[in-house]
Copies of this chain bind each other. A is one copy, B any other.
Amino acid sequence: MKNILTTIFLCAVSTLSAQTLHNSDVHDLPEMNQSSVREVIQIPDILGYKTLKCDFHMHTLFSDGSVWPTVRVDEAWAEGLDAISITDHIEYRPKKNILKGDLNESYKVAEQRAKEIDFLLVKGIEITRSKPIGHLNALFINDALPIDVKDPVKAIEAACEQGAFIMWNHPGWPDNKSTLYPVHEKLIKEKKIHGVETFNEFEYYPVSFDWCRDMGLAFMGCSDIHGLITTRYGKAKNARPITLVFSKDRSVEGIKEALFAKRSAALFNGELAGPADLLRALLNESLILRTINAANGSVEIINSSDIPFVFKTANGVVVIPADKAVRTKLPLTGTLSVENCHTGSDACLTLNLPLKEL
């Protein structure tokens, strides 16, 4: 039936062996094998950096997740990500009596697979305590064992001694209050907290945008996935929250340097949160402006990225969907605020009108 049912623009294919068998013993349908095909998430490189799509918060059977660590690599690879960190809980390991493996095991298992398919894996762990301090991920660790100590601040310090990047997870969970406690202020001041998970799972914490902006912390977005991404988020492209890392190159060291330099943004469901200059660069690289009629402000805005942009002006609101172009009229004066580009809890990217260039 193959020669009847082709559709090349949506074909799902993979490598065929030199021999595709079609006889009475075996009839192959190799084009059904998607194992080697993955999405391309179209988000442009900016300012001379590579834009890497990352998820730095997830779990496996080695804490309270339900998959083998290799699944996290394959799942993220298939969705078009560049890097992940598997951050199993130190303290909460429900299967520890039936599954052998210490705090370093999930990384060791996943690393082999990541190497095979040229996928970036950052070694990490989650320090999981009650509020006030809450949950934090230590990324770029060498050894999780020394981080398993009673005092959470000492745990963080042990991680920092390994050069770890510390991210403060989901500040608004579980009590729906995003509170910057004295312990956090102190750790931030001492440069022992470096980033905040502004987007987690299905929510975000607007006040945390202000913390990142005002205290120089990296904006981050992560899934915190325990089961499967597709059953949790559905099958849409780029469904999970991710962290965009603007790195010098495609490497773990590059990601580390970029995060410590706070060169990141959070993205989920078309909402971006990050430093204004980075969001502005993303917008500029994603969009092309074409003037149709300079006198009346008639323009076409062409979006080649997978991020939509929502413009608000005195004329009203215009959405520029991902991978679409929109013809609209923008005012000739005043400002345009990009409603889905959050620079603070109550602030978003603003551009001056008329738009000269994008």
* Alpha-carbon distance between A277 and B303 when the two chains are bound, in angstroms: 29
B310-A1 in contact (CB<8A): yes
Residues of B within 8 A of A10 (CB): 7, 10, 236, 321
**Which among A18-26, A122-130, A143-151, A256-264 touches the partner chain?**
A18-26
For residue A87, give the distance in angstroms from its CB to the closest CB of chain B: 18
Query: Does chain B have a CB within 8 A of A2?
Result: yes
Query: What 0/1 pattern do residues 301 to 328 of A give for CB contact below 8 A with B?
Result: 0111010101000111111011111111
Is the CB–CB distance between A18 and B314 below 8 Å? yes
A33 surroundings in chain B (CB, below 8 A) = 202, 232-233
A117 at the binding interface (Cβ < 8 Å): yes
- Chain A residues 199 to 235 lying within 8 A of chain B, measured CB to CB, are 202-207, 227-228, 230-235
Chain B residues with CB under 8 Å of A74's CB are: 227-228, 231
- CB-CB under 8 A from A29, the residues of chain B are 202-204, 268-269
Q: Specify which of B11, B177, B203, B233 is in contact with A321 (CB 8 Å cutoff).
A: B11
- Say yes or no: A270 contacts B15, CB within 8 Å: no
Nearest B residue to A270 via CB reads B8
Q: How large is the interface on A (under 10, 10 to 19, 20 to 34, 35 or more residues)?
A: 35 or more
Q: How long is the Cα–Cα vector from A97 to B205 in the complex, in angstroms?
A: 43
Please give the distance in Å from A10's CB to the nearest CB on chain B.
5
A34, B234: Cβ atoms closer than 8 Å: yes
Whole-angstrom distance between the alpha carbons of A77 and B327 in the complex?
10
Are the CB atoms of B25 and A176 closer together than 8 Å?
yes
The reply to whether the CB of A16 lies closer than 8 angstroms to some CB of chain B is yes
- Check A21 against B176 for contact (C-beta < 8 Å): yes
Which residues of A pack against B, CB within 8 Å?
1-21, 23-40, 42, 61, 66-68, 70-71, 74-75, 77-78, 80, 97-101, 116-118, 172, 176-178, 202-207, 227-228, 230-239, 268-271, 290, 292, 300, 302-304, 306, 308, 310, 314-319, 321-329, 339-340, 345-346
Interface CB pairs A-B, < 8 A, 9: A3-B20, A5-B13, A7-B11, A40-B302, A42-B304, A66-B67, A71-B227, A75-B228, A228-B230
